[in-house]
Amino acid sequence: SQAIEYLEKAEEMSPQNVEANYYLGLSYDKIREKEKARECLSRVIELAPQSGFAQEAEKKLKKLNK
């Protein structure tokens, strides 16, 4: 999808971008790319463990791993 293309470009330009990784993970989940979703969401937790994005990423990862 166009959103995924945009987010992939944003992540390539700035791999440390927590927000881009978070939304990319959610987007991959929606199209059932579970492994890519896990990678992006895990990266969010690595980059900013104390952030709200990390808290939400942890919740989403728990659902993905069920």
Buried b / exposed e along 8-45 (16+ C-beta atoms within 10 A): bebbeeeeebbebbbbbbbbbbeeebeebbbebbebbb
Asked if the model's pLDDT at residue 19 lies above 90, the reply is: yes
pTM to 2 decimal places: 0.90
Please give the residue that has the higher pLDDT: either 16 or 15.
Answer: 16
CATH number, domain 2-64: 1.25.40.10
pLDDT in tens, 21-33: 999 999 999 999 9
Confidence grade of residue 63 (pLDDT, cut at 50, 70, 90): very high
Query: What pLDDT sits at residue 1?
Result: 79
